[in-house]
């Protein structure tokens, strides 16, 4: 009964294999993207694709790595911060505080923060 009530949340798709890496193949499919357009996973995938494009086309505007990102944040130069939820679950309290502070700083300057789930394929992409 519960599955039937939530069947609108399911999407039937085909891919080349049943392995985890095939999720990216499914997410890249235009038909799937249109059905999932308003989901968090789709927003994460789009944001990461935009970051990679910016990194390729205009590397002076795309920063990664804690030190570079903090410096950009101090200058109010971050439009959108992409960060994984794993950093907020770090065993080291100092590390968690550093990233919480970074997120607050970005928001303070009007930037957007997108927290990626490491349980989703977009949070694992490198």
The architecture CATH gives domain 38-124: 2-Layer Sandwich (3.30)
> Which pLDDT tens digit goes with each residue over 34-72?
877 777 877 888 898 999 999 999 999 999 999 999 999
Domain with CATH 3.30.1330.30 in the chain: 38-124
Q: Is 45 exposed, middle or buried (0-12, 13-18, 19+ CB in 10 A)?
A: buried
**Euclidean distance between CA atoms 100 and 97, whole angstroms:** 5
Residue 126 reports pLDDT greater than 60: no
Chain centroid, CA 92 distance in Å: 22
pLDDT for the residue 31: 84
Residue 109 reports pLDDT greater than 90: yes
**Euclidean distance between CA atoms 94 and 7, whole angstroms:** 43
Question: For residue 111, which of 84, 75, 86, 64 has the smallest C-alpha distance?
Answer: 75
Rg of the chain over all Cα atoms, to the nearest angstrom: 17
Structure pTM? 0.70
For residues 47 and 72, the answer to whether their CB atoms sit within 8 Å is no
Mean predicted lDDT score pLDDT of the chain: 87
User: Which residues, other chains included, contact 120 with Cβ-Cβ below 8 Å and sequence gap of 6+?
Assistant: 41, 44
Mean pLDDT of 18-34: 83
């Amino acid at each position: 009964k519960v599955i039937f009530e939530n069947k609108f949340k399911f999407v039937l798709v085909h891919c080349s294999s049943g392995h985890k890496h095939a999720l990216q193949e499914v997410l890249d499919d235009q038909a799937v993207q249109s059905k999932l357009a308003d989901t968090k996973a789709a927003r994460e995938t789009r944001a990461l694709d935009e970051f990679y494009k910016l990194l390729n086309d205009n590397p002076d505007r795309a920063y990664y790595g804690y030190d570079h990102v903090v410096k950009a944040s101090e200058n109010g130069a971050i439009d959108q911060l992409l960060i994984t939820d794993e950093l907020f679950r770090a065993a080291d309290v100092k590390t968690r505080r550093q990233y919480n502070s970074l997120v607050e700083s970005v928001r303070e300057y009007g930037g957007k923060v997108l927290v990626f789930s490491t349980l989703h394929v977009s949070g694992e992409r490198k």
